[in-house]
Structure 1
Amino acid sequence: MFKVLFLHKDFPGQFLHLARFLATLPGVQVDALASDPERALPGVTLHPYRVDIAADSRPHSYIYMADRAVWRGQAVLANCAVLAQGGYRPDLIIGHNGWGEILYLKDLWPDVPLVGYFEFYYHGTGADVGFDPPGAVNLGDLARVRSLNATGLLGLAAVDRGVSPTSWQRDLHPAEFRDKIALIHEGIDTGVASPGQVLPLVLPDGTRLAAGMPTVTYVARHLEPYRGFHILMRAAGDLLRGRPDVRLVIAGEDGVSYGPPPDGGGSWRAKLLAEVGDGLPLDRVHFLGRVGHSDFINLMRLSAAHLYLTYPFVLSWSMLEAMACGVTLVASDTAPVTEVVEQGVNGLLVPFHSPAAVAAGLMTALDMPAERRMRMRAAARQTIIDRYDLTRVALPAWTGMLHREFGLPLPPG
């Protein structure tokens, strides 16, 4: 029996498709460790763990994240040591590097191949830091950002193979480590994320939206600046005044995934509504909160124009799934978006920092001649099929690499 151990604090996370597939292979046993698992997968044995951080832990502010990673890595090591005492030894370990889970497993199992998922390497310039608002950062910022990479560098030194999902994200890592990092996206299920039947959407105020209506959509896990929520809200006035028939549908939770909360607390939604709300026809702005995946797919099928904005940062699955659904996409001209979206071919690119340009881009998308719109939508979907499709591209790349380099058994053919 070939044993694969996954490590992701929110399992399955980026390993959803890979872990689910490996669990179906004959002769393969799949286990996973997680502190805050999102869901169970058939055929995967889940081992929960907890992280206990000493109450008197007071790290330097530069290494706060590294300190937390050490505590987490220590917890994972202790739990794996218990498994080892019971006779468990994996043949392959696959883990996300970002939170420290993979840091110390080579000390327990030095001969077990370790594959790390490397999502982001921090830079003081050229990525998210200093991007919004644009400007120089000080020496203290540069030192703090450099220190954020302590966990990443320890992980890069430990793994036998790294994986990153986009070229830009991979190439953020130091040149001396890039040959160690394979470019493999986790994959988009284009059978699920696809054009198809559109169910009417009943909004919180009772309004019923259907296919063919001028609906502009925006989706993010949290409504925050890293995903351009502030730009959307500042663009909304021009869009809605310019197109009195348009409704703006916004999906996402209050809170933050990546950046800080607003000064003074509260949510970015409340802050932006206080800033621009008087200038908006709020009866045509609809906040859905968090939506389930099937509702997201339906929303993309219903959308007349979909907006995706991001700092130069980790690329969202939502943009790729929206393209797979055949949306008319308007997206920021930021990396790694520009690695996927070609201006005028499979989407429209707009400058992130210009709300006026964002509104104009959305109106261009809405007013596009039908033939051009259909061509662009088809090209968007074909891009995802050709480059990110789960069964044609991503899973074969993952399993092929694991088979060639680490002996993962695959069925004949």
Structure 2
Amino acid sequence: MHILFIHDNFPAQFGHLAAELVRRHGDRCTFLTGRANAQHPEFEVISYRQRGGATEKTHYCSRTFENQTWQMEAVYRAVVDRADLRPDVIVGHSGLGPTLWLREHFDCPIVCFFEYYYSTRGADLDFRPDFPSSTENRLRAMNRNAFLLLDLENSTLGYSPTEWQRQRFPSRYRDKIRTIFDGIDCQLWQPMSRSPRRIGERVIPDDVPVLTYATRGMESMRGFDIFMKVAKRLMDRMPSLQVLIAGQDRAAYGNDARHTGMASFKDWVLSQDNYDRSRIHFLGLIPPRELAQLFSITDLHIYLTIPFVLSWSLLNALACGATVLASATAPVQEIIRHGENGLLADFFDVDGLTEQAWNVLQSPERYRHLGEAGRQLVQSHYSIDVCLPKFRALLTDAIHLHHAGRAASDSGSIRASNANF
């Protein structure tokens, strides 16, 4: 099987899937991406260059569609320039790997990764009244679904990583969307030695309690400010507590700067209270193996998110056997059951989060079974060993559907021709 993957930001959700398809099934995988000079030892990576996009003169609410149209044009030019490309199936991220025009160039099925359907109420845009969305952002949210709807209408099949994300899409399209998680490599994300407890060059004594937090960007949507409030209270009560934070000082989502007046949400949060910076260690963006080590040595890992796309870091932490305290928001509750494989508390309940965290940090061994159950959950439901067969079956089914539809269309054309004879 030859699969053509399309994602603007290689490798993103598809890189590890493509690599495993090559290794386990001998499939041929080709990757189209907007990243210049991207390479991979196991499959071909083709870079495309976007020649235009939205400007300040473009209506704010239509800029996403404008950018995606220019991206689609770049993707289309890239495949036209490669006459030798003849994939059996195309896989694209609806919104970050547009596939729509490829229907006019390739006679093959298209599978779309449907990550998130926007709405003005009941999810990300109205969850935090302390960081309210602007009117223009709420209006823009409806327009941002335009390409999603085109892909829902024109794709052969699709998939979403969680059932909560799948259920956000219009009911008329859900039958063509399957719930398939991206797949966790449980050989990489696994419990590692806790003795000595080492992160990079830093060694933490066994009797020192450790609290961790990991994020792509430190922002309100991932509750960084809430976490820091909890950490401050815990540090005041536990003089030896060490706080390790992995992630970048950036906003991956949202518009925090509009509320804080500062470019760095991290700096704004730290300016709101008197933190003992000697016990808070910002590790930056660390390699996966080092992050797995962090999850393995922590006494408690806190994961917070508003109702939005679920972070890989939650599943990675569970796979490493970490005891996790998380926000009781819809996407998280699909994974964590309170008291069984982790702990839950209301996103805004700083007191409740602090008390649960205090209990764990006082006696970490009493809660280790939660991390063990979390790893078992990932292995049985979310590992690459479980998810890859589902993903490949999706591709195979899409190919069968496409050929069946083409055969039905050809048969109809023959009957019409005979009727006109």
Q: TM-score, normalised by structure 2?
A: 0.89
CA change 1:56–1:351 in 2 (3 A) is: closer
Unpaired segments ≥5 residues, structure 2? 402-421
The equivalent of 1:266 in structure 2 is: 263
Q: Is the 8 A contact 1:301 1:325 kept in 2?
A: yes
- 3-state SS, counterpart of residue 176 of structure 1: helix
The equivalent of 1:241 in structure 2 is: 236
The equivalent of 1:193 in structure 2 is: 189
1:103-142 matched pairs, under 5 angstroms? 103-109=100-106, 111-133=107-129, 142=138
1:56 Cα offset (Å)? 6.2
Q: Is the 8 A contact 1:331 1:349 kept in 2?
A: yes
Post-superposition Cα deviations, 1:52-72, rounded to whole Å, max 9, x if no partner, equal 116867321111111111110
The equivalent of 2:411 in structure 1 is: none
1:142 Cα offset (Å)? 4.2
Q: Is the 8 A contact 1:20 1:42 kept in 2?
A: no
The equivalent of 1:297 in structure 2 is: 292
Q: Distance in 1 between matches of 2:226 and 2:383?
A: 31
The equivalent of 1:171 in structure 2 is: 167
The equivalent of 1:385 in structure 2 is: 379
Q: Is the 8 A contact 1:10 1:38 kept in 2?
A: no
Q: Distance in 1 between matches of 2:346 and 2:36?
A: 37
Q: Is the 8 A contact 2:299 2:364 kept in 1?
A: no
1:70-89 matched pairs, under 5 angstroms? 70-83=69-82, 86-89=83-86
Post-superposition Cα deviations, 1:217-265, rounded to whole Å, max 9, x if no partner, equal 0000111111111111222221111222211111111111111242333
More deviation, 289-298/128-137: 128-137
The equivalent of 2:415 in structure 1 is: none
Which of 149, 156, 162 does residue 160 from structure 1 map onto? Answer: 156
1:47-62 matched pairs, under 5 angstroms? 47-53=46-52, 58-62=57-61
- 3-state SS, counterpart of residue 336 of structure 1: helix
Q: Distance in 2 between matches of 1:99 and 1:55?
A: 15
The equivalent of 1:337 in structure 2 is: 332
Q: Is the 8 A contact 1:196 1:301 kept in 2?
A: yes
The code of the aligned residue for 1:4 comes to I
The code of the aligned residue for 1:59 comes to T
CA change 1:6–1:299 in 2 (3 A) is: same
Which of 343, 357, 362 does residue 362 from structure 1 map onto? Answer: 357
The equivalent of 2:30 in structure 1 is: 31
Q: Is the 8 A contact 1:194 1:324 kept in 2?
A: yes
Q: Does 1:284 align with 2:283?
A: no
Q: Is the 8 A contact 1:350 1:357 kept in 2?
A: yes
More deviation, 372-381/216-225: 372-381
The equivalent of 2:341 in structure 1 is: 346
- 3-state SS, counterpart of residue 257 of structure 1: coil
The code of the aligned residue for 2:376 comes to Q
Q: TM-score, normalised by structure 1?
A: 0.90
The code of the aligned residue for 2:377 comes to T
Which of 394, 397, 406 does residue 390 from structure 2 map onto? Answer: 397
Q: Is the 8 A contact 1:98 1:151 kept in 2?
A: yes
1:367 Cα offset (Å)? 2.6
Q: Distance in 2 between matches of 1:301 and 1:31?
A: 35
- 3-state SS, counterpart of residue 75 of structure 1: helix
1:135 Cα offset (Å)? 9.1
Q: Is the 8 A contact 2:162 2:181 kept in 1?
A: yes
- 3-state SS, counterpart of residue 369 of structure 2: helix
RMSD: 2.3
Q: Distance in 2 between matches of 1:57 and 1:136?
A: 23
Unpaired segments ≥5 residues, structure 1? 409-413
CA change 1:381–1:91 in 2 (3 A) is: same
- 3-state SS, counterpart of residue 330 of structure 2: coil
1:39 Cα offset (Å)? 5.5
Q: Distance in 2 between matches of 1:298 and 1:388?
A: 20
The code of the aligned residue for 1:64 comes to R
- 3-state SS, counterpart of residue 185 of structure 1: coil
Post-superposition Cα deviations, 1:295-339, rounded to whole Å, max 9, x if no partner, equal 100001110000100111111111101001111101001120000
1:369 Cα offset (Å)? 6.5
The equivalent of 2:404 in structure 1 is: none
1:354 Cα offset (Å)? 2.4
Q: Does 1:183 align with 2:175?
A: no
Q: Percent identity?
A: 34
Q: Distance in 1 between matches of 2:159 and 2:199?
A: 41
Post-superposition Cα deviations, 1:141-163, rounded to whole Å, max 9, x if no partner, equal 54322111111111111210111
Q: Distance in 1 between matches of 2:362 and 2:335?
A: 23
The code of the aligned residue for 2:379 comes to I
CA change 1:39–1:138 in 2 (3 A) is: closer
CA change 1:98–1:38 in 2 (3 A) is: farther
Q: Is the 8 A contact 1:330 1:365 kept in 2?
A: no
More deviation, 92-101/19-28: 19-28
